[in-house]
């Protein structure tokens, strides 16, 4: 069997698996601002910040004491 015949189904399967791994998350700050992320944000780092990428692709870094909730999007 030629390589190109099995490469496309394998690539499609890989993309399907990776797409199932992301969990949209809502990060709500103490002031009411909400960010929707593509995936769960990194937990609090050693410097006391949460870091995540919002749905527009912008990297956001927020002090941990400003975060009210982090929960999966409904």
Helix (H, G, I), strand (E, B) or coil at 13: helix
pTM: 0.64
pLDDT tens digit string along 3-52?
A: 556 555 655 554 544 444 568 899 999 999 999 998 888 776 778 888 88
Q: Give the whole-angstrom CA distance, residue 7 versus residue 56.
A: 31
């Amino acid at each position: 069997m030629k390589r190109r015949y099995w490469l496309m189904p394998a690539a499609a399967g890989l993309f399907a698996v990776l797409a199932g791994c992301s969990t949209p998350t809502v990060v709500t700050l103490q002031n009411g601002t909400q960010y929707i992320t593509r995936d769960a944000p990194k937990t609090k780092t050693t410097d006391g910040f949460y870091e995540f990428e919002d749905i527009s692709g912008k990297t956001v870094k927020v002090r941990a004491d400003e975060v009210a909730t982090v929960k999966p999007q409904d």
